[in-house]
Amino acid sequence: MINGAFMEDLSELLNSATGDERRRRTFYEIDTKFEKMRSSLLKNIDSMQSLMPFLRASLRQTMIRARTRTVGRKPMSI
C-alpha cells in the first residue's frame, strides 16, 4: 500500500465515488478502502514532515506513469 502508486490509488478511490457509473463503489466500500490507506499511512509515517516528501514523490511517480502511457513507453524504462 505504501509505495509510489499511493496517489493513483487515492485518485482511483475518489473517482469511484463520483466518476463513471460502471466503476462506482458503495460508500461502505470506499470508506473501508480509505480506512486501510489511512491506517497504513499512520503505521508507516510518523510525522507531517515525513509525509509531505512521500506524497510529493508519489505524485511525481503518478505523473511519470501517466506521461509514459501517453508516449507509449514502459514506466520502468525511464
One-character DSSP codes across 16-74 = HHHS-GGG---HHHHHHHHHHHHHHHHHH--SHHHHHHHHHHHHHHHHHHHHHHHHT--
Q: Mean pLDDT over residues 11-17, rounded? A: 87
**1 assigned to some structural domain:** no
**39 assigned to some structural domain:** yes
Name residue 37's amino acid. M
pLDDT tens for residues 16-58? 888 888 888 989 999 999 999 889 888 888 888 888 888 888 8
pLDDT band at 71 (very low <50, low <70, confident <90, very high): confident
Domain of 39 in residue numbering reads as: 6-77
- The total domain count for the chain is 1
CA gap 52, 35 in Å, rounded:
19
> So what's the pLDDT on residue 2?
63
**36 assigned to some structural domain:** yes
